[in-house]
Amino acid sequence: MKTYNLLATLMAVAMLLGMGYSLTACSNDEDESNSSPSEVRPEVLVLFSFDGLGDGSYNDQILRGIKLVENEYNQKMSIKFVNPKDMEEVESLCTSWWANIDKPADKKGTIPRRLLVLASSDYIEPARRLFANAEMNINRCVLVFEAEDNGDETEQIRSFDIDMYGASWLAGRTARDLGCKSALVLLGNSMNETTYDARDGFVDGYGKAEDETSATVGAIADDYRGYGMATELYRKMYDYDGQYDFIYAVAGGSNMGAYRYLRENPDCGIYTAGMDTDQSPYSTLIVGSMVKRIDLVLYDHLKNWFNLKDLPRHQHYGLESGYIDWQIADRYAYLKASVEANRAEAIRKEKEYAAN
């Protein structure tokens, strides 16, 4: 069984209790939110990444997005979610969901609109295999998070990706501004191509100055398990101490191991970055965070789907979208001016990278 940072887990549980599934909050938009196009509530099923809930970052942000939707739509949309333990469970849930796609929701035989949200890039391949011959439309739809566009215009699965290159480029430049001479980019899963833009962005932003080396690249594991190895990363930090002075870990819940080490060893001299949310409260050595507003991405997609707006086959969001940014921690406010001065360059380089 995986273990998570206690604070993060308690925050997630508190949020669940706060939601209560009574959905009693009032809508902020009576005309739009309280007028469902269907007589029965549209149904949404969200599958988190493996045991992801309680990670204190990405998955908990998705939970916040669910709460935003529930509060606004005031019982006009039914949202359920599952925290799968492995890929076998994910495939079983997907198969069951599609097998019941035309199941009536009431005695009148009314079939509700149904949306399956696969909130992990690890799910795109099984989704493409399981739903290869599925007939989908706005009333029966699958949305996959953080999936690379395969260029297939006939694909009926909907997806999006959030480009991390620009924000990571700014993070790399920040590490250089700090005077760090040895940096490590640490991926959770070396085989997850959706994180390569973060890797390449940091390496390019950090650059290579005279008599200085470029950033080193490493990985915790070669599969999805690398995102749940906080204890292993904590132990590895003893090896990294004295070897690197900046660690840019793109490793999901495993990052908590690095933050724990830095809290316990505040004089070690290793700077690092938060991921997905502002994680600067976890350590005084977190200079900034690559913040993904995945809660707003989910909110916007569900809102459009609820209001019968067709979801594009694939959408690409970058630094200009407002869904992602490099956010300097308040205690390092003197670095903010450099970030803003370099923002236009980061956007330009991100677009060049995406074009290639």
Do 6-163+294-319 and 165-291+325-355 show the same overall fold?
A: yes
Taking a C-beta distance cutoff of 8 angstroms, is the pair 156, 131 a contact? yes
What ranges do the domains of the chain cover?
6-163+294-319, 165-291+325-355
Report the run of H or E that residue 71 belongs to, with start and end.
Answer: helix 58-73
| Among candidate residues 161, 174, 189, the one with its CA nearest the CA of residue 254 | 189
What are the residues facing 187 on neighbouring strands?
Answer: 219, 250
Residues in the chain: 356
Give CA–CA dist 286/256, Å, rounded. Answer: 12
Using DSSP, state whether 169 is helix, strand or coil. Answer: helix
Residue type, 134: A
Q: What is the DSSP letter of 200?
A: H
Give CA–CA dist 218/216, Å, rounded. Answer: 7
pLDDT at 18: 46
Residue type, 274: G
6-163+294-319: CATH number: 3.40.50.2300
165-291+325-355: CATH number: 3.40.50.2300
Q: Map tokens 């001065």 to a residue.
A: 341
Mean pLDDT split into 10-residue runs, the chain, 356 residues:
42 47 35 51 94 83 93 89 94 97 93 96 93 94 93 91 97 96 96 94 85 85 91 97 96 94 96 95 97 96 94 95 97 98 97 94
What are the residues facing 189 on neighbouring strands?
Answer: 221
